[in-house]
A and B are shown apart, each in its own frame.
Chain A
Amino acid sequence: MSTLLTWLFGRLPIGWLQLSHNRMRLVAAVAGVAFANLLVFLQLGILGALNGATVAPYALLNADIMISATDTHTLTDGSNIARARMFQALGVPGVASAMPLFLGTLEFKLPDGSVSKLQTFGFDVERPGFAAPEVAALLPGLETENSAIIDTKSRGIPKTAFAGLLAGKPFAFEVNGHTLSTIGSLAIGGGFTADGTLIVSDQTFLRLFPNRSSGAPNHILLKLNDGAALPVVLNRLRAVLPVESVMVRSLKDAAYADYAYQTTQRPTGIIFGFGVLIGVIVGIVIVYQVLSTDVADHLREYATFKAMGYPQRFFLGIVFEEAIILAIFGFIPGFLVSLGLYAGLRAASGLPVLMDPPRAIMVFVGTLVACAISGVIATRRLAAADPADLF
């Protein structure tokens, strides 16, 4: 290691030699940085799962524009919208077709008495073009009354329940007093508000939710004519539809607004975002403590080097060398433990807690920056190394 660093820096790796000389302090410092990394990874993992789970349902849809009630923040909250708006929208130049989308939550009662909440989509099976291709391929099967497409990654439902389904045999279960028969499956996964997804026809949906009306869907999806400009059609729709009660957005913007709402307005997003900040602060404090103690312990040696003619930047280099070593050595175990933790969280919660390369790189760069900031603060102590005091 010393040889490598000597070659790398073109000088003795004083920082590394100092750190490795006091093994206990090095182990404690690395453990501290690793712990801070773990904290950040954990918060980012859950935040990422929240984001992933937020935008995943939008991936089931295939539309250019979504019309929703003005009090809508997410796909599932907000008032219902009058179906009459769909006919108004169809009269706007550029709009090719429309479909009302129904959404609700069903409770899947499990044999042990527990309940699995399923986010239920009611699609118009005659308009498969409004569903993502993998959903659209299964929609014809939903024409049969009380048939459904079930999410095999639904949290709480034993995987054995889907064994027959995967072998081609329908799987029957009871919800809201109706027996549903699954005609297909998709692997979607649960989120923070539901354990899984269920897709039915709009007719089955209305039977499952007797208090819902066909005249009041949750959203209206629109597709545009070929060549129609999205911004132009959006403006036309906003001019025609009552802005005090309906909101017209592209599907992409709706998904982004949902994501932004979940991460910045909802307590979950704020809590996990705050957790990331706490992790960063913990890391900075730990590394600062280690570096400042190390500087204080070596003031006489630094003063000696100053007397010998070493410039201030040499000492800054030592402190930054230590900061970077701690960042790298702390990141590696923090990253590896986080991988294990993510796997455990995925298995336990069914949430899409995934380690993607950009996150790993971002945390590594963040660790380097946090350690460098700690180093900058710690170098203030270097001023106390006065070579005249050596005599």
Chain B
Amino acid sequence: MVGNTPIIMRGLNHFFGEGEARKQAIWDVNLALEGGKLTVLMGPSGSGKTTLLTLMGCLRNVQEGSIELMGHELHGASEAVLVRLRRRLGFIFQAHNLHESLTATQNVLMGLEVQGAGDRSKQLAAVHHILGLLGLADRVDYLPQNLSGGQKQRVAVARALVGNPEIIFADEPTAALDKDSGHNVVQMLKALGQSRGVTTVMVTHDNRILELADRVITLEEGRVVGDSKPG
């Protein structure tokens, strides 16, 4: 990690398919994302935003070029290293991907258990605290099927945040939320960055969020075509 730059990409290329069907999705991306900032990736569908997000999030193997994540080179990293690094990250998906059999508390608890066994009462206190911050104090024992779409997404956000991740990767986190809820979630992510130095990388089509972003990177056909700092 160079200074406070947890994500550094150099000469990054990525391909899908093999042989004649091989298609390049990411073209020579060189970016350095600052710590504690909210970076938004924008671009039309198929521009490579999500591919870039999954590469940074250790969910795909780096094929060409380099990604240095929190001081660790991802190109050639073993699965064990990638798994360990993922535990320091938080993911918020467009679909909440909550486990249908687990209550809100249990779903969020999964975000803590991945760190290893701990004092159960302290873990539950942390879970209830973050659910309370997200306005779900009266829904802690609800199964996902009994929560609204917005409530589910907030549980998913709580699950991503409860382990105090160093970087949060979010893919359209406000897509299922109404305007106010979406704004609140993004504001909370930004506040986390300011108070705890958490870096957030978010893929979104929601222009309302741009005003909160520290940096907006625009992709088209796998290439970085814009890089700006609003305001």
Contact = CB atoms under 8 A, between A and B. Distances in A.
Interface string A375-391: 00000000000011011
Contact of B93 (A10, A14, A311, A391): A391
22 contacts: A12-B109, A14-B99, A17-B99, A17-B101, A17-B106, A301-B99, A305-B114, A307-B59, A307-B86, A308-B87, A308-B114, A309-B85, A310-B114, A387-B54, A388-B54, A390-B91, A390-B95, A390-B97, A391-B53, A391-B54, A391-B93, A391-B203
B204 to A, nearest CB: 13
Interface of A: 6, 10-12, 14, 17-18, 20-21, 298, 300-301, 303-305, 307-311, 387-388, 390-391
Contacts of B101: 14, 17-18, 20-21
A304 B86 contact: no
A126 B47 CA distance: 104
A21 to B, nearest CB: 4
Nearest to B88: A309
B106 A12 contact: yes
B114 A391 contact: no
A11 B106 CA distance: 10
A17 B83 contact: no
Nearest to B115: A309
Interface string B53-85: 110010110000000000000000000100111
Contacts of B114: 305, 308-310
A145 B64 CA distance: 103
Interface in B94-130: 94-95, 97-102, 106, 109-111, 113-114, 117, 120
Secondary structure at the B interface, as helix, strand, loop or mixed, is mixed
B141 to A, nearest CB: 12
Contacts of B93: 304, 390-391
B99 A391 contact: no
A309 B99 contact: no
Nearest to B109: A12
B50 A391 contact: yes
Size range of the interface on B? 35 or more
Contacts of B166: none
A314 to B, nearest CB: 8
Nearest to A15: B101
B26 to A, nearest CB: 13
A12 B99 CA distance: 12
A21 B97 contact: no
Contact of B97 (A11, A14, A17, A304): A304
Given A21-B101, A388-B60, A12 B50 contact: no
A118 B85 CA distance: 78
A127 B102 CA distance: 76
Contacts of B109: 12
Nearest to A297: B100
B110 A305 contact: yes
A15 to B, nearest CB: 10
A376 B114 CA distance: 23
Contacts of B117: 10-11
Contacts of A309: 83-89, 114
Contacts of B80: 311
Contacts of B34: none
A388 B50 CA distance: 9
A17 B120 CA distance: 18
Contacts of A310: 83, 114
A309 B93 CA distance: 15
A137 B15 CA distance: 92
Given A11-B117, A17-B106, A391-B50, A308 B59 contact: no
Given A6-B120, A307-B86, A390-B93, 13 more contacts: A11-B117, A12-B102, A12-B109, A14-B99, A21-B100, A301-B97, A301-B98, A304-B99, A309-B86, A311-B80, A387-B59, A391-B54, A391-B59
Contacts of A311: 80, 83
Contact of A308 (B94, B95, B111, B171): B111
A308 B91 contact: yes
A303 B97 CA distance: 9
A385 to B, nearest CB: 11
A325 B203 CA distance: 41
Interface in B155-206: 159, 171, 203
B49 to A, nearest CB: 9
Contacts of A17: 99, 101-102, 106
A311 B98 CA distance: 18
